[in-house]
Amino acid sequence: MIELQNVHKYFFKDEPREVHALNNINLTLEDGEFTLFSGPSGCGKTTLLNAIGALDEIDSGKIYFDKTEISALSDTARTSLRLNQMGFVFQAYNLVPVLSVEENIGFIMKLRGFSDSEIQKRVLEVASMLEIDNKLKALPNALSGGQQQRVAVARAVAAKPKIILADEPTANLDSKNSQKLMDMMKELNKKEGVSILFASHDEYIFENVRRIVKMNDGEIVDA
Amino acid sequence: MFSFALKNILFYKGRSLTTFVLTFVSTLLFVVYVSMMDGSHKSMLQNAIKIYTGAIEIYHKDYRDIGGNEYLIQDTSAILKKISQIEGVEAYTSRYETFGLLSSKNNSAASMVAGIEPEKEKSLSSISEALTEGEFLTEKSGNCIYMGVELVKKLKVKLADEVAFIGAASDNSFAADIFRVCGIFKTGSFEFDLSTSFLSRDYFDTLMLSKNKASYITIKVDDLEHVEAVNEKIARVLDDNLESLTWKTLMKTMVEAMEVDSIFGYISLALFLVVIFFVIMIYGFINVSSRIKEFGVLRCVGISNSNIFSLLFYEIFILSTLAIAVAAPIGGYICYYYSINPIVIEGIAEMYKDYGIISDEIPFDFSVFTLAWNILLIYVLNFLSILYPYFYINSFRPIEASRHV
Ligand SMILES: Nc1ncnc2c1ncn2[C@@H]1O[C@H](COP(=O)(O)OP(=O)(O)O)[C@@H](O)[C@H]1O
Ligand SMILES: [Mg+2]
């Protein structure tokens, strides 16, 4: 469970160009939820995901990941929290170009010290769920954008994190590939029970989602 | 991380190749540079000894401090006989040195005049090779005098001219004669060339009444490295009133000068290393700057700082090991080869004679120990060079870095 209490975040605090990127956010996200953060560009979705993902600091308020207060953790503890509990999907895929598809998928598991046989088994499992099991030996740059993003999702989910944070994962994809990715993520959410938080300003994705958090100007307008 | 590093190296071929070549070239240059430095050092020493000073010299005690005819070696042939039986002695000869006044029609000058055994002298010193005009002495060259070029200039004489000599014989009686200039030499040492002249002992001893006497005996050893050991053996067979000294004592000032020279050598070596270090580090830094995003993404998904450090470490370790593994044998072989078959640049000795260079050979020195510490140093430099880039990467927050373009 993730809980945000009175979270504020500023950029350029106390300067004329100050931005109040997160304005008094209060939110509870249950385990296993599939949540979309929506709203116009610049409303604070990325800032919020980064705060939850222990990638960025906040100026005031509290964020709890289960019982741990993220905002109070050291850099090392945040790194280890991200590695052990979270999966990330970026807009720009961000696969490791020198590693093959299967090595990319198994990368986080390897860092976490899973055995090679466990990794191999799990890589096959998620790869077939995401329909990239015929590309395992390929390097990322030989894949289409849609395939690369599915590899990124596979990497995020392979090590069984509690939550996956996906910031505009479909922004670089056409509508067909976006739809496919959304369907697969919903499937993963259902089968694996992993919470998925993602941010998007695409309107048409909304119909697929159970919970939508609407934002505007750094505030939650509808949860 | 090791296999990840290996894959990075193989994937970014251009980058890896440049790092490889940089390390390769700097290792090679460094090894060869050190070899030449050591080599020129050694040859400087050998040259200095070769000109006139022996590796070991035997004196009557007090000759060097007080001097004079009371402190000549009296029974030279008996001592030479003992020395000839000592292992490690390659050659030896006796010299009789005295000071006198040399006069030409135009000018006079004080000079050290030495009676030498011309044939033996050839294998003990390089004064015969320093010949520039005329001929070197022979046993039977009579009143021929072999003169330093600066002394010749001062007396304003030329070959075949006559010079008058006035001095004191070994029994302190008056000695005077007329010599004929038969040969002129130039060692490159101004002092030496201005104040030294030679005659064959056969002739000079008759004039100076110095048969079987000697100012000192000079000795060449098989191997300079063993000079102390040979010196001890010699000292053991000598009478109490004699002393035998090695070049280190004989050329105190020279040795001190060489130490200063080696300090300059080490300073230039240090500069060289600093340059190598910065080249490698700047290149490593440029590399890492282009990888900020890559490392940022890795850190976002949970790679720790120590993982990044091991990644950089393995990358540089693999590349520098490869580069050194190739460069060290090549560099070592070059040094080894040229230490045995020196590069000869025709005429270089002629051109640089004034600086005391008396050989056309470019000196190299080969030693496994030197090679080993050279390699170790390049290794250490390579590893040090990843530190700054590493801290630079860490100065970015992961999320900033992942968006870095
Ligand atoms: N690193 C940053 N530095 C300064 N301002 C920023 C930074 N990131 C975001 N902002 C500002 O914060 C606000 C929210 O941005 P963001 O969270 O990226 O919105 P969204 O993801 O919804 O498009 C915007 O006004 C944006 O200009
Ligand atoms: Mg955004």
pLDDT, tens digit (0-9, with 9 covering 90-100), for B5-31: 888 888 888 888 988 998 898 888 888
> Looking at per-residue confidence, does B269 or A123 come out higher?
A123
Size of chain A, expressed as the number of residues it contains: 223
> Measured in angstroms, how far is the CA atom of residue A72 from the centroid of ligand 1?
23
pLDDT at B189: 72
* CA–CA separation, B394 and B388 (whole Å): 10
pLDDT at B48: 66
Determine which of A57, A80, A98, A137 to mutate to test the interface with B (most B C-beta atoms within 10 Å): A98
Q: What is the CA radius of gyration of chain B?
A: 31
DSSP 8-state assignment for residue A112: T
**What's the pLDDT band for A208 if we cut at 50, 70, 90?**
low
Question: Which residues in chain B touch residue A50, judged by CB atoms under 8 angstroms apart?
Answer: 399
Beta carbons of B302 and A84 less than 8 Å apart: yes
Determine which of A57, A58, A73, A75 to mutate to test the interface with B (most B C-beta atoms within 10 Å): A75
* CA–CA separation, A206 and A37 (whole Å): 10
DSSP 8-state assignment for residue B367: -
Beta carbons of B302 and A96 less than 8 Å apart: no
**What's the pLDDT band for B347 if we cut at 50, 70, 90?**
low
CB neighbours (10 Å) of residue A110? Answer: 18
Of A58-62, A71-75, B275-279, where does mean pLDDT reach its minimum?
A: B275-279
Query: Which atom of ligand 1 lies closest to the CA of A49?
Result: 17
- DSSP readout, B269-291? HHHHHHHHHHHHHHHHHHHHHTT
- Give the total number of structural domains in chain A: 1
Q: Which of A96, A160, A49 is nearest to B307 (CA)?
A: A96
Our CA-based measurement puts residue A81 at a distance from the nearest CA of chain B, in whole angstroms, of 8
pLDDT at B354: 53
Q: Which of B312, B288, B303, B283 is nearest to B393 (CA)?
A: B288
Residue A204, pLDDT above cutoff 80: no
Determine which of B6, B301, B303 to mutate to test the interface with A (most A C-beta atoms within 10 Å): B301
Q: Which helix (H) or strand (E) holds A222?
A: strand A219-222
User: Residue A163's beta-bridge partner residues?
Assistant: A86, A195
Our CA-based measurement puts residue B268 at a distance from the nearest CA of chain A, in whole angstroms, of 42
**What's the pLDDT band for B276 if we cut at 50, 70, 90?**
confident
pLDDT at B394: 87
Q: CB of A9 closer than 6 A to ligand 1? A: no
Q: Give the mean pLDDT of chain B.
A: 87
- Report residue B160 CA to chain centroid gap: 37
* CA–CA separation, B52 and B311 (whole Å): 60
Residue A206, pLDDT above cutoff 80: no
* CA–CA separation, B245 and B235 (whole Å): 9
CA-based max dimension of chain A? 56
pLDDT, tens digit (0-9, with 9 covering 90-100), for B84-126: 999 999 999 999 999 999 999 989 999 999 999 999 999 888 8
Q: Is the pTM of this model over 0.80?
A: no
Kindly report the CATH number assigned to the domain that includes residue A44. Answer: 3.40.50.300
pLDDT at B253: 67
Beta carbons of A98 and B12 less than 8 Å apart: yes
Domain locations in chain B as residue ranges:
2-49+254-402, 54-250
Q: CB of A127 closer than 6 A to ligand 1? A: no
**What's the pLDDT band for A3 if we cut at 50, 70, 90?**
very high
Q: CB of A43 closer than 6 A to ligand 1? A: yes
Cβ pairs A/B, distance under 8 A? 53
Amino acid symbol at A71: S
**What's the pLDDT band for B59 if we cut at 50, 70, 90?**
very high
pLDDT at B313: 92
**What's the pLDDT band for B275 if we cut at 50, 70, 90?**
confident
* CA–CA separation, A130 and A164 (whole Å): 15
Beta carbons of A99 and B7 less than 8 Å apart: yes
> Looking at per-residue confidence, does A202 or B335 come out higher?
B335
Cα nearest neighbour of A155 on chain B:
B301
Tell me, yes or no, if B301 comes closer than 8 A to chain A by beta carbon: yes
What are the strands, taking DSSP E only, across A30-75? 34-38, 60-65, 68-69
Average confidence (pLDDT) over B202-231: 92
pLDDT at B111: 93
Q: Which helix (H) or strand (E) holds A135?
A: none
pLDDT at B212: 93
Convert B73-94 to b/e letters by CB count within 10 Å (16 or more is b): beebeebbeebeebebbebbbb
Q: CB of A41 closer than 6 A to ligand 1? A: yes
Provide the residue range defining the domain that includes A126: 2-222
CA atoms in the 13 A half-sphere facing the CB of A6? 2
pLDDT, tens digit (0-9, with 9 covering 90-100), for A107-154: 999 999 999 999 999 999 999 999 999 999 999 999 999 999 999 999
| Crossing angle of helices B368-384 and B252-289, rounded to 10° | 40
φ/ψ of residue A11, rounded to 5: -110, 145
Q: Which of A56, A19, A75, A117 is nearest to B394 (CA)?
A: A75
> Looking at per-residue confidence, does B149 or B66 come out higher?
B149
